[in-house]
A and B are shown apart, each in its own frame.
Chain A
């Protein structure tokens, strides 16, 4: 659907994007991650044709980015606002007409969305009369109203209360099911794990990691497990199987965190331990995206 190829963007004194390439497949939810100032917004502004790259190219469905693509992209910027003195309904109508909808079609869809998101009586309200969360809802509707193939959301959940965040999340999933491709830009990892299929991690203008969330997590697994048990075992007898990284005692239950040695399996460990102790729980330690993110960013900063 979208391929970004070797994009370079230089501002007066600093390089915002340095040879960044990405592939976003159709129908996926793609997470564009990175700390503040990494270059996420610069990349999005290139995809939305607000600025142009110094070198490299962006293809949508194999075509070089051009003005026909404007109507196929929906963009909710991080710095978002609405005309203060204009009625909400008029405003959304204007924005969707700029994207190429006819008045009749746009009106129909606005009514549909306003109904759906419980905003029915907002048509003639002014922005000044709405809370920040309510404004965000309006902006979201304006972003998706023209049924774009590609929807780019920059920090979509900042400013939403949990209830509305949930409503929006469900709408995103539903639109995704209907075939829309999403790009999320965020530095908050919790939302990524729930929603994203694919991610790319950008730090200091460079892409340092990309792939599917599951794959990335898998590569970050390092054979570490938590075991909850009762009883005692001889440490020496299992020395060749695993190392104990941590021991804990929580409410009378003993916990150990172990890391398997190379070529050893969980089954081997269990068969060795079961005669000695009674195991009530075994969990694999899978790093969260947040941990991977911090680990990766720190490592790059260190280098």
Chain B
């Protein structure tokens, strides 16, 4: 055990001390903050840009209502003749002039839009939609429907899903939306983690072979200890980097927003965002308040500490399991160029688990597919996290965790077995057939 600690220590320190690690750790948050800043800048600019002012010149008598301004377009009815305003458009702060001639409701013709710039496709369709609505309302009114009835035409439906636990009959709130988002985030995080650090495990294993130090090492420690130390050591490197990234990104973003942007700009962005929400909220009440509400709602129905624990457990467990698979690949080959053929089969189950979790499991969280996906260690790290918000029986949770732990240790054992045999065959190309043979004979 002491030796495993030594290996963990070496794997951790030798990586953390590397220049590339230090540079990446500090550069990535800067990049993320930079991208974040750019997105913020363009959103701000976007709000300003898409806000078009349209002067409406209407000689139309049929339409009794007027076009209503909203976030994107300000309609302003002017009394000037069309030709005058067309000429003086440059001097006014209008972007476009909309001309509404007299037309029959059945066949509206002759509507024109003038501007310094050619109006974009989205603006064009937006204006035509607004006019169409106006015409439709006019038609409805003419057929005898009162304005008050019209206003009440729109209804929004939102279903609160609740689960009844059989023993107590208690109702628990759950949410499909929330779990999908958790699964999505968990999936992305795991992918990133596995791609970044699982590959490092593989490289580390190969490095020891190419630098010919393994014979010395494994005459001192067992390959199993070496693998275990390597995987855990590199996992800790990954966690260190991740945590630093989160902390640094947060710090840099906070500093940058307070220093670089003046307060009025921030205010503008937040108020417009709020305005958006209020506007949307008027239309469809709860749904548009963002999935955060859903998550909060469904989390309130569950034991949060349990969810967090399960998430962390499966996140780390999944990472360790896949790292062990990478270690096995590293053990089987002599150089990185040979790893390609083995990479796909390893990533496939993760991709499959991800895809199935977001489709089948969210649709039927208690079905057979969901059950098995959350048991098999290749897919359980994602599937189980997806199922969590729907409520998973404790025995299933325990079984799945047990299988994952056994799966991890088993994979490390297999990897160390391949490793032991692999070193006896320097420079020999590895095929699946060869690997199978290695299992069947004594090392």
User: CB within 8 Å of B: which residues of A?
Assistant: 11-12, 45, 48-52, 54, 67, 70, 73, 75-77, 79-86, 94-95, 97-99, 139, 142-143
Contact = CB atoms under 8 A, between A and B. Distances in A.
A75 B14 contact: no
A83 B426 CA distance: 18
Given A12-B441, A51-B443, A82 B220 contact: no
A77 B441 contact: no
10 closest A-B pairs by beta carbon, nearest first, are A81-B212, A77-B215, A48-B219, A98-B220, A81-B211, A75-B219, A81-B213, A79-B212, A94-B10, A97-B6
Nearest to B210: A81
16 contacts: A45-B424, A51-B420, A52-B443, A75-B216, A79-B215, A80-B212, A81-B213, A83-B14, A83-B207, A95-B220, A98-B3, A98-B7, A98-B220, A98-B221, A99-B220, A139-B216
A73 B219 contact: yes
B340 to A, nearest CB: 23
A164 to B, nearest CB: 19
Interface in B203-232: 207-208, 211-213, 215-222
Q: For the side of the interface on B, what is the size category?
A: 20 to 34
Contacts of B220: 70, 95, 98-99
A149 B405 CA distance: 40
Nearest to A76: B216
Q: Among A73, A85, A98, which residue has the most Cβ atoms of chain B within 10 A?
A: A98
Interface string B404-441: 00000000000000001001101000000000010001
B83 to A, nearest CB: 78
B216 A86 contact: no
Contacts of A70: 219-220
B216 A77 contact: yes
Contacts of B442: 52, 54
Contacts of A86: 14
B428 to A, nearest CB: 11
Contacts of A80: 212-213, 215-216
A268 to B, nearest CB: 57
B106 interface: no
A36 B242 CA distance: 50
A84 B204 CA distance: 12
A70 B218 CA distance: 10
B219 A95 contact: no
Nearest to A54: B442
Contacts of A48: 219
A74 B219 CA distance: 9
B211 A84 contact: yes
Contacts of A79: 212, 215, 426
Contacts of B221: 98
A269 B210 CA distance: 63
A84 B211 CA distance: 7
B18 interface: yes
Contacts of B211: 81-84
Nearest to A143: B216
Contacts of B441: 11-12
Contacts of B218: 50
B217 A98 contact: yes
Interface centre among A73, A75, A79, A84 (most CB of B within 10 A): A79
B14 A50 contact: no
B219 A50 contact: yes
A12 B18 contact: no
Given A50-B420, A51-B424, A79-B212, A85 B18 contact: yes
